[in-house]
Amino acid sequence: MKFGIERLLEDAALRAPLIGQRIALLAHPASVTRDLTHSLDALAACPDIQLSAAFGPQHGLRGDKQDNMVESTDYVDPRHGIPVFSLYGEVRRPTEAMMESFDVLLVDLQDLGCRIYTFITTLRYVLEAADKHGKTVWVLDRPNPAGRPVEGLTLQEGWESFVGAGPMPMRHGMTMGELGHWFIDLLGLRVSYRVITMTGWQPDASPGFGWPTDRTWVNPSPNAANLSMARAYAGTVMLEGTTLSEGRGTTRPLELFGAPDLDATRLLADMRKVAPEWLQGCVLRECFFEPTFHKHAGKLCRGIQIHVEDPTHYQHTRFQPWRLQALAFKAVRMQAPDYPLWRDFAYEYEHDRLAIDLINGGPLLREWVDNPVAGCETLDLPARADEAAWIESRARFLLY
């Protein structure tokens, strides 16, 4: 198969509309060709592409920040001599001066298929800016490594944020190119937009179910270490809003969770007792880990690792990471009703709302966890309604 960047580089006809235009690139560390050349370098070597600027989202164009929520600065690229603007520094939205640096913006971002992953919010922001300033946007499409499954509650009106770009469920099952069409329709934008589609992408085919396993994995963000993380992320990302460690500071971030004072044996038993159907499609294993930084740094944690790598037990359509993680929170409450589970801190520049609610696009999940008499159907029924509605509404925007 070929990604959008590869098709653009190989096909002069696709590039023809770009001749004579000032081209900017929005990219990150995973923006590479099959031979692992960064897209900025590959485009710079193309004689009919005139690069005038580049943009970096959260974690930077080349991946300069290891931890979460650490800003990047603007700079001049030392190899190509063009300005590199940060969209995760002093600003989140491109400024007028930034927009004046190009005619066409190429967006080449590897997504993880999760609403909270900030690259899709950055896509929305650049589309809105392009509409305002009369610029053209092309998305060089890439696979959604989590594939087509949909899961989670739809973000509620008024809960938009940098980790909530619009009314979609946690696991949206779309590519960046498809999401661009959806944003344009949702927001009523009048922007010149084009998707350079992939060829040969098979999101329902094993063993990758979205990710072509013959391609090298490059971390799109520092803690997105592999396909297993991408599969689990729509659930484990919620750990960012809790006092439990999500494994930052270990070699398997966002594939495991735990804390020094957690009884992992009881936790897993309670999860299996309360809603075994929410644990299908994967293997859960008790584990110990000691984070070297971030939450519980230097302390031995007991926890659970989510295994989705072995094709003999991973079941793509049955795996429900959002429900699995929600169930883990419920089991923590069963184990210790007064456990200080929810982390109260400034999350993505939001000071007045709990991080767990921002992550979920509303308070329903937290309220369900904290209500000792609420059964699984209290969360499952509204989620299933939201998932069905999203599958229907997204259908006309799918390109593959």
pLDDT of 65: 57
pLDDT of 247: 97
Which residues are 286's β-sheet partners?
A: 304
CATH class assigned to 227-390: alpha beta
| Boundaries of every domain in the chain | 4-220, 227-390
User: CA-CA distance, 393 to 400, in Å (whole number)?
Assistant: 16
Tokens 């982390």: give the residue.
343
Neighbouring residues of 189: CB distance < 8 A, sequence distance ≥ 6: 127, 128, 131, 183
4-220 and 227-390 agree in CATH topology: no
Q: Which tokens hold the place of 320?
A: 């429900």
> Could you tell me if 200 and 1 are in contact, meaning their C-beta atoms sit under 8 angstroms apart?
yes
What is the full per-residue pLDDT of the chain (400 aa) written as tens digits? 999 999 999 999 999 999 999 999 999 999 999 999 999 999 999 999 999 999 999 999 987 655 555 667 889 999 999 999 999 988 999 999 999 999 999 999 999 999 999 999 999 999 999 999 999 999 999 999 999 999 999 999 999 999 999 999 999 999 999 999 999 999 999 999 999 999 999 999 999 999 999 999 999 999 999 999 999 999 999 999 999 999 999 999 999 999 999 999 999 999 999 999 999 999 999 999 999 999 999 999 999 999 999 999 999 999 999 999 999 999 999 999 999 999 998 887 777 899 999 999 999 999 999 999 999 999 999 999 999 999 999 999 999 9
pLDDT of 67: 55
pLDDT of 349: 72
> Could you tell me if 213 and 311 are in contact, meaning their C-beta atoms sit under 8 angstroms apart?
no
pLDDT of 68: 53
pLDDT of 44: 97
Our measurement of the distance from residue 84's CA atom to the centroid of its chain's CA atoms, rounded to an integer in Å, reads: 22
User: CA-CA distance, 383 to 76, in Å (whole number)?
Assistant: 46
* CATH annotation of 4-220: 3.40.50.12170
Instruction: Output 389-397 pairs: Cβ under 8 A, ≥24 positions apart.
Output: 389/154, 390/150, 390/154, 390/168, 390/169, 390/172, 391/150, 391/173, 394/150, 394/172, 394/173, 394/174, 394/178, 394/182, 397/174, 397/178, 397/179, 397/181, 397/182, 397/185
**Residues 197-232 as b or e (16 or more Cβ within 10 Å = b):** bbeebebeeeebbbbeeeeebebbbbbbbebbbbbb
pLDDT of 73: 83
Neighbouring residues of 162: CB distance < 8 A, sequence distance ≥ 6: 92, 118, 121, 348, 349
Q: In angstroms, what CA-CA distances link 8 with 82, 197, 240, 377, 386?
A: 21, 9, 37, 48, 36
pLDDT of 151: 98
